[in-house]
Amino acid sequence: MHSRDDVAEHGGVRSVLRTLDLLSLFTEETSQWSVRELSEASGLAKTTTLRLVSTLERSGLLWPTGSGNYAPGPGLLRWSRLAGSAWQPTPAARQVMGDLVRRCGETVNIYVRSGLHRVCVAQQEGPQNLRHVVRVGDELPLWSGAASRILLAAADDALLERVVAAAPHRTSAAELRSRIDRARADGCAVTHGERERGASGIFAPVVDEKGSVVAAIGIGGPTPRFTDDAVRRFAAHVRTAAQEVSRAGVTAHLPGRAEA
Amino acid sequence: MHSRDDVAEHGGVRSVLRTLDLLSLFTEETSQWSVRELSEASGLAKTTTLRLVSTLERSGLLWPTGSGNYAPGPGLLRWSRLAGSAWQPTPAARQVMGDLVRRCGETVNIYVRSGLHRVCVAQQEGPQNLRHVVRVGDELPLWSGAASRILLAAADDALLERVVAAAPHRTSAAELRSRIDRARADGCAVTHGERERGASGIFAPVVDEKGSVVAAIGIGGPTPRFTDDAVRRFAAHVRTAAQEVSRAGVTAHLPGRAEA
């Protein structure tokens, strides 16, 4: 038996997660949705969707466009400013990223782990036209990619099981663990076409003063430019950059962060 | 009597609003909070606060800084990009704002109404050092300011009652209504020190093709620069700018918006 408060509490967290999921459907490419479309895409009942959309509209996070559709609301602008200031790379980190772009000629990204994802929190674009495009704020899965192997350095078995469970193909936690261990031994991780055919990446750990991994810094680009020779050269630059950023700190909040 | 679903549903919306309220406590100036501080500032019980903070952390919207504090999370970066693209002023609107800055020498803002607030959605800063600083994304009250009188043009009595109820001093809906009517007759609203001593503003309506007000565009600055002569001159420029933006549209979502 549940008391009324228990039920409300349980439903409360669920509603918060559902509301955030609805908001996640809005992207730059698909920025307008009707309640019916949101209901279909989320799998939520239409009445539930309508109730959550109304709440989001009331909070300024969704905006009625007048044609029965909803678009991202002006309330997001405040959070935009907040995210910008909280996750602004330090000038030193920005400098290291710029140097790494110049040395490798590839796009430089910094990722952090957020739950079962890695999130790109900083980027310096490479000079070439053929690029592996990831945007700041993008959430990518942890079951693939060089940055993931770095960010999972301290992961326990339970986390690895959840990570591989999210993968579309069969992969084992033991296999992922051995790749993570290999990356730790090498001081960096190198992947080719692991999630996306033709995309390569080299990432190294940014650590806090306790040696815990707080972020992964590295480069990504098309596999044909990641020849064996280039990988050796790039890997050395990426490791150096990671050490420099570890000393300088990534953002105001990242140095000294205890690993969760 | 409520069924379990009713209770959960009711608690659900409440939890969503509480969660967003917690997130609103994070500002650029106060970007780190402990659960205890959040509980005190929000008036929520510590267990409730902890549960909502955990949900926000799980969603990447809050980030544990390792010292028991929380900071804005990397999940906000995606919303930042979304807000930026949805609320990016059209090139034409940007041009009009730039012209208005050059003609008046004051900071230009565009506001929209979101519930009981007006939100600054676009800004072009003026050239002078003494400025009235409002930032894009700031939510200001509707009971004061020239922009509010413009945005409330189509407000019914119920909305005006809610607006004046939020004001810190006693003011009547009838009084606010007469100021709104006056602004409509004049084609713009002028205020001096209404909310903040020494701050003046002149705003005019941006309308859609049906003539409904969708936004307010205008200038704000220190009252000593808003002499009678300047106000006459500025008002003419602000009205012209509003007509130009009404034709051009403010952002991708604002033209053709039916008034709620």
CB contacts, 8 Å: B87 with chain A: 72, 74, 76-77
pLDDT at B4 over 90: no
- Would you state the CATH architecture of domain B87-248? 2-Layer Sandwich (3.30)
Indicate whether A120 pLDDT > 70: yes
Report helix, strand and coil shares of chain B as percent, to nearest 5.
Answer: 45, 20, 35
Interface of A with B in 4-33 (CB under 8 A): 4, 7-17, 19-20, 23-24, 26-28, 31-32
Partner-chain residue, chosen from B55, B64, B117, that has the shortest CB–CB distance to A16: B55
- Write down the domain spans for chain A: 4-78, 87-248
Question: Which range, of A104-113, A202-211, A246-255, B100-109, averages the lowest pLDDT?
Answer: A246-255
Q: Is the pLDDT of residue A80 over 70?
A: yes
Model pLDDT, residue B132: 72
CA-closest candidate to residue B219, choices B123, B94, B149, B153: B123
Work out the angle between the directed axes of helices B35-42 and B4-24 (0-180°, nearest 10).
110
Closest chain A residue to the Cα of B111, Cα to Cα: A74
Query: How high is the pLDDT of residue A257?
Result: 36
Beta strand pairing status for B139-141 and B189-192? unpaired
| Mean per-residue pLDDT, A136-158 | 94
Which of A1-4's residues contact partners 24+ apart within 8 Å by CB, and which partners?
Answer: A2/B4, A4/B2, A4/B4, A4/B7
Average pLDDT estimate for B21-28: 92
8 Å CB contact of B115 and A58: yes
CA dihedral B21, B26, B27, B32 (to 10 degrees): 160
Which one of B63, B78, B116, B257 makes the best mutation probe of the A interface by having the most chain A beta carbons within 10 Å? B78
| B78 SS3 class | helix
End-to-end CA distance of chain A: 34
% of chain B exceeding 90 in pLDDT:
68
Residue A259 has a pLDDT of 34
Question: Could you tell me which CATH class the domain B4-76 is placed in?
Answer: mainly alpha
- Which of A224-233, B129-138, B224-233 is the least confident region? B129-138
Chain A neighbors of B64, CB-CB under 8 A? 257-258, 260
Return the CATH fold of A4-78: Arc Repressor Mutant, subunit A (1.10.10)
B120 to chain A: closest CA residue: A74
- Phi, psi (degrees; rounded to nearest 5) at B18: -65, -40
- Rounded to an integer, the average pLDDT of A144-159 is 95
Residue A78 pLDDT: 87
This model of the complex carries an ipTM of 0.84
Contacts of A26 in chain B (CB under 8 A): 82
Tell me, what's the pLDDT at A7? 52
| Predicted pLDDT of residue B7 | 52
CA–centroid distance for A209 within its chain: 23
Indicate the residue of A7, A73, A74 with minimum beta-carbon distance to B8.
A7
Q: Any idea which of A131-145, B14-28, B134-148, B234-248 has the lowest mean pLDDT? A: A131-145
Q: Is-contact B31 A85, C-beta < 8 A? A: yes
Q: Is the CB of residue B205 less than 8 Å from the CB of residue B216?
A: yes
**pLDDT attached to residue A236:** 97
Task: Give yes or no for residue B36 having a pLDDT over 70.
Answer: yes
The predicted structure's pLDDT at residue A1: 43
Q: What is the pLDDT of residue B42?
A: 95
Q: Which residues pair with A228 in a beta bridge?
A: none
Interface contact B60-A10, CB threshold 8 A: no
Q: Which of A81, A120, A253 sits opposite B65 (nearest CB)?
A: A253
- Of the ranges A49-53, A87-91, A108-112, A178-182, which one carries the lowest mean pLDDT score? A87-91
